[in-house]
């Protein structure tokens, strides 16, 4: 198990780094284009639920593919906690801690429990975010798959983390780009590998 985890982390590092570089480029473009903060806010709340859909899909699929006779309640529990919990860590907690470390004023939001309305659609955030996890779990029941959803999961996580910085933080981002890259990398590399691979496999044991 430890060898598998180590191999997955090494294999994911280059792809995660490329995603983080792409995120930095987008941040530079948005900064110099003087894009309104509301755009970053709306993009975050669009990407975060999509991230959860793919996270729930991959986590649930990984468990189902390795433990075909797993109980329904266990499958739902693993898919839900592995997506909501890890996506919150990746998209919100790590960027918040990273911003706080860099002395950036950051707002802390936990969408899966917030009753505030989602931008544009007017539905409560907790409904949209939790529904996203249910959709991902349902898709995995219908057709479990991991490879391409996992790649999408990594990319969406990178973009969601990026817009978390820009939506909930206020700073001159250009001098901070090397540090933002580091936190973007960490917010995706460890949490995504944990939720998609390590977390479901820990429930499987030796199978």
Provide the CB-side half-sphere exposure for 62 (13 A, CA): 28
Strand partners of residue 142:
none
Cα separation, 12 vs 4, in Å, equals 12
**Whole-structure pTM value:** 0.85
CA distance 113 to 93: 14
Report the SS3 class of residue 123.
coil
pLDDT at 131: 96
Cα(193)–Cα(175) distance, rounded to whole angstroms? 29
In 3-state terms, what secondary structure has residue 148? helix
State how far the Cα of 68 lies from the Cα of 86, in Å rounded to an integer: 23
d(CA 170, CA 103): 10
Q: What is the CA radius of gyration of the chain?
A: 17
Please report, in tens digits, the pLDDT of each residue of the chain (207 residues total): 567 667 767 777 787 888 888 888 988 998 888 888 888 888 999 999 998 998 898 888 888 887 666 678 888 998 899 889 888 998 999 999 999 999 999 999 899 999 998 877 888 999 999 999 999 999 988 888 766 656 676 778 888 999 999 999 988 888 999 999 998 888 888 777 676 677 777 777 655
């Amino acid at each position: 198990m430890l060898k598998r985890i180590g191999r997955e982390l090494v294999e994911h590092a280059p792809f995660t780094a490329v995603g983080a570089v792409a995120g930095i480029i987008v941040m530079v473009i948005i900064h110099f284009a003087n894009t309104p903060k509301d755009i970053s806010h709306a993009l975050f709340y669009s990407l975060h639920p999509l991230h959860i859909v793919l996270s729930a899909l991959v986590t649930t699929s990984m468990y189902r593919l390795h433990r075909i006779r797993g109980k329904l309640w266990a499958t739902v529990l693993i898919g839900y906690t592995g997506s909501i919990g890890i996506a919150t860590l990746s998209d919100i907690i790590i960027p918040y801690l990273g911003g706080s470390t860099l002395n950036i004023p950051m707002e802390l939001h936990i969408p899966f429990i917030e009753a505030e309305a989602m931008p544009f659609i007017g539905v409560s955030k907790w409904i949209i975010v939790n529904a996203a996890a249910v959709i991902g779990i349902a898709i995995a029941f219908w057709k479990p798959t991991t490879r391409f959803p996992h790649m999408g999961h990594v990319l969406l996580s990178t973009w969601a983390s990026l817009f978390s910085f820009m939506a909930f933080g206020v700073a001159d981002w250009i001098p901070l780009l090397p540090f933002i890259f580091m936190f973007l990398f960490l917010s995706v590399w460890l949490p995504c590998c944990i939720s998609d691979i390590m977390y479901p496999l820990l429930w499987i044991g030796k199978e």
